Structure 1
Amino acid sequence: MSVSSRDESGGATPHAFSSPEIEAVYRAIRSRRDMRHFLPDPVAPAILTRLLEAAHCAPSVGYMQPWRFIRVTDRGLRGRLGELVEAERLATADALGERGAEFMRLKVEGIREAGEVLVVSLMPDRERFVFGRRTLPEMDLASVACGIQNLWLAARAEGLGMGWVSLFDPETLRTLLGIPEGGRPIAILCLGHVEQFYDAPMLEQEGWDQRRTLNDLVFEDIWGRQYPR
């Protein structure tokens, strides 16, 4: 798919990037994958810093910047993270009922193999931020998710894979990492070099589910009215 820097009517869009730059952004979006298989090669410190800076450039409601990152380098601590994930993996399989055995065949993390492991947490004392959150307090979580997506796309552009692991008990992980009360870990990110990127999302390749069509997800004016495209 090629991307033009001209709008639908053919007029110029003066604030657009150049066509190759636009295409690079869309390429990163299309080829990003939730990776589970990693090589043990280390991530260059300069690249890791760039990725964290990209995350920190994310939008946040009320400019609260609620993201906090903990880089986990201790191998023993990584092992503890792996144990937390395994415990939740078993509980999830049980909750899935007839799909439990199918779920157990999936690889759900690369904590022990990845060059870098980051735990992302919501900061404590978030209740003092009201701007944009009075009726939607969960916008703190949405803001952190934007930061994670920034990091993910930047990682793909740098040729690194990343996987978001959410199979853990948040309170147990909070205590393990000494996160202050009121903080809430929401992601274990496995980041590093990969042999290759999946041709399609892994869960799609494994037959777990398929991507919905855009027509099923975009409406116009009222719910259910198909968006004309």
Structure 2
Amino acid sequence: MPVKALTNKTLEALKPKAKRYEVHDLLCPGMSVRVSAQGQKVFSVKFRYGFNQKRMKLGVYPRITLATAREKAMDILRQVDEGIDPTKRRRTPNMKVEAVCGEFIRLHAQARNKSWREAERILEREFVGTFGQRDIREIKRFDVLEIMDAAVARGSTYQANRILSNIRKLFNWCVERGIVETSPITGLKAPTKEESRDRVLEDDEIVRLLRACRNDVYPFRQFVPILLATAQRRRAGRNALERGRS
């Protein structure tokens, strides 16, 4: 079968023959144009998925242009590279905030973030709880600002920073996955400047704290002394406790 760098001039010059014939595109491996005995010119792309050789029709020239045919062929080949069978009809993805956040936690946060339960808690309470049934592609900058402003108004200034941090990670992931074109909160700054704390407990405070723990219930009776013994921060200890419960 002939191989040519297809151009519009080349396509126009392809004449019908007694039997159907095929010309492969040198500039887009896998793509070809079939010329029928009646002169119809049909673009298609061939690829191997698993052990099977498959072919997909791209369109009829000139109703579909050469550039569009190559673009569609490259998209199909890209799907194959990602392990997707383009011949299978795919379910329309659920773009609601609730569904996308769930996918973000399952596919991204759990595998990369040891404190993913904290991220899940913040997103579910602050983001999903407010916009759960909205299409995530419709979420605007002012929507996120509204959540952060509410946290600052109730005195949870550091929590507002955590909200922004987790929503930013969510939207960055959405951009990578092609769910949204751009993040609506690019360049948005944290509302509160955080300062590290260097306060330490005095000896008599530690004694009183340990005495109080004796009368407390699980898990704090065991939890607080462990934090003191290991010098763990409270958030790190909480995350460790949550992982132990799961």
For Structure 1 versus Structure 2, the TM-score category normalised by the shorter chain is under 0.3
TM (normalized to structure 1)? 0.24
Higher helix share: 2
Please identify the structure whose Cα radius of gyration is greater.
2
Task: Name which structure has the greater RCO, CA cutoff 8 Å, separation 6+.
Answer: 1
TM (normalized to structure 2)? 0.23
